[in-house]
């Protein structure tokens, strides 16, 4: 995989508030990359720094041009360029469609600024209008469009410039649930079709997990982990990632030479090389309930059950744990609230996180 964007040691503070703290991320060409984190984690600041609307206090952001025309590959220092000279386009959270222009002139705006011939502009605008299926809305004003249509115009306006990198700031947050699900698939399809590297900022972990090839989880201005969705879920690097991605139960304990001790007992856990205090992560689908509490590593009382049609989840209050243990399995619930159950799990599916 060739590297397109290299973010190295980028920091940014607003007064005493640290927005970005020594952030380093490499993004590959043609990748669908997500910056994921709760609000205030610095993900939008990073996106705006790439686009040119924030000046980092320290660090570098460079882009490598690997196209066959650029031989040998050239490296562009993005921070040295003003926003209008960067080969990067940003799709704003508010979409920022120009209200005094119609759909066609909104999309053509960027190409006109490049000074392209009128015939080429018309042709390229027609092409993207077709890609986003808005040909029949070309003369409509932004205020006459629905949320999903506005989003597609904003996308068309950015991709018509054929940037090497497209940045999307919370692209789906303004849409209602149903449209959002459609646009997730649509964005993924488009990214394949146009072959542009996408960097999406989102606070919605399901959105990031379902769309992105790789995700950088951010918290308090720091990158917590960069990995593909499956690795993030199954091998979280720290407690924050374990808690933020998916659901599960975290049990604080100690790793000794012989095993994992917590709640005054020895719990099944994968073997690790390091010893000391650690957290054991149990994913709901890895937890099994038994009707024989006395031979299970943990036991507790069923608090509630939820049936979702194809699957169900059970919450079990375990003495000594703040939050109930969540178990999920296919089919209808097999236990009732108030029942005493034993809790077992596959140790190889559990994760020990040092910390």
Partner 1 sequence: MPSIGWLRLPLWFTYLFLYLPIAVLVVMSFNASKIPFVWTGFSTRWYGELAQNELVREGLINTLIVAIGATIVATILGTLLAIGIARYVRSAIVEAYSLAPAIIPDLVLAIGLLAFFSLIGVSLSLFSVLLSHVVFGMAFVAAVVIARLGQTDPSLEEASRDLGASAASTFVRITLPTLAPGIIAGALLVFTLSIDEFVIAFFTDGPSTPTLPIVIYSMVRFGVTPEINALATILLLVSFTIVISAQRITRLTDAV
Question: Residues interacting with partner 1, by CB under 8 A?
Answer: 51-53, 82-85, 88-90, 92-94, 96, 98-100, 109-110, 113-114, 143, 157-158, 161
Beta-bridge partner residues of 165: 88, 197
Return the structure tokens found at 311: 């699957």
Longest CA–CA span in the chain (Å) reads 79
Which one, 9 or 85, has the nearer CB to partner 1?
A: 85
Write the DSSP assignment of 253-290 as a string of letters: EEEETTEEEETTEEE-----S--EEEEEEE-GGGEEEE
* Least Cβ distance, residue 61 to partner 1 (angstroms): 15
The secondary structure element, H or E, covering residue 199 is strand 197-202
Closest separation in Å from C-beta 250 to partner 1 = 39
Closest distance of CB 95 from partner 1, Å: 8
Strand partners, 169: 201
Residue closer to partner 1 by CB (options 7, 51) is: 51
Q: How many CB atoms are located within 10 Å of the residue 7 CB?
A: 22
For partner 1, the closer of residues 158 and 218 by Cβ is 158
CB atoms within 10 A of CB 325: 23
Alpha carbon distances (Å) from 80 to 64, 76, 170: 14, 9, 26
**Smaller CB separation from partner 1, 134 or 255:** 134
Contact 14, 21 (CB under 8 A): no
Q: Supply the minimum distance, in Å, between the C-beta of residue 158 and partner 1.
A: 8
Q: Which is nearer to partner 1, 196 or 267 (CB)?
A: 196
Q: By C-beta, is 104 or 283 nearer to partner 1?
A: 104
Q: Least distance in Å: CB of 99 to partner 1?
A: 6
Backbone angles phi, psi at 225, to 5 degrees: -165, 140
- Minimum distance from residue 298 beta carbon to partner 1 (Å): 51
């Amino acid at each position: 995989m060739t590297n397109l964007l290299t973010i190295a040691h980028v920091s940014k503070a607003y007064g005493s508030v640290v927005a970005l703290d020594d952030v380093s991320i490499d993004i590959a060409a043609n990748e669908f990359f997500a910056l994921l984190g709760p609000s205030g984690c610095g993900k939008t600041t990073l996106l705006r720094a790439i686009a040119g609307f924030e000046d980092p206090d320290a660090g570098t952001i460079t882009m490598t041009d690997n196209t066959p025309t650029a031989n040998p590959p050239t490296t562009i220092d993005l921070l040295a360029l003003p926003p209008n000279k960067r080969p990067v386009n940003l799709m704003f959270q508010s979409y920022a469609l120009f209200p005094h222009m119609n759909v066609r002139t909104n999309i053509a705006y960027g190409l006109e600024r490049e000074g392209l011939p009128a015939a080429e502009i018309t042709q390229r605008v027609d092409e993207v209008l077709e890609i986003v299926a808005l040909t029949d809305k070309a003369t409509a004003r932004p205020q006459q469009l629905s949320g999903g249509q506005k989003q597609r115009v904003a996308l068309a306006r950015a991709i018509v410039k054929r940037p090497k990198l497209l940045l999307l700031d919370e692209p789906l947050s303004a849409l209602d649930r149903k449209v959002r699900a459609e646009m997730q698939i649509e964005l993924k399809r488009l990214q394949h079709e146009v072959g542009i590297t996408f960097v999406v900022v989102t606070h919605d972990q399901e959105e990031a997990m379902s769309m992105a090839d790789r995700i950088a989880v951010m918290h308090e201005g720091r990158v917590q982990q960069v990995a593909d969705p499956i690795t993030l879920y199954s091998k979280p690097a720290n407690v924050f990632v374990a808690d933020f991605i998916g659901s599960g139960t975290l049990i604080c304990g100690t790793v000794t030479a012989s095993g994992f001790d917590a709640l005054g007992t020895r719990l099944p856990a994968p073997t690790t090389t390091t010893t000391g205090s650690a957290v054991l992560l149990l994913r709901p689908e890895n937890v099994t309930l038994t009707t024989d509490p006395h031979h299970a590593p943990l036991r507790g009382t069923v608090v509630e059950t939820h049936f979702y049609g194809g699957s169900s989840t059970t919450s079990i209050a375990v003495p000594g744990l703040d939050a109930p243990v969540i178990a999920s399995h296919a089919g209808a619930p097999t236990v009732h609230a108030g029942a005493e159950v034993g809790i077992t799990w596959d140790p190889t599916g559990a994760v020990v996180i040092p910390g």
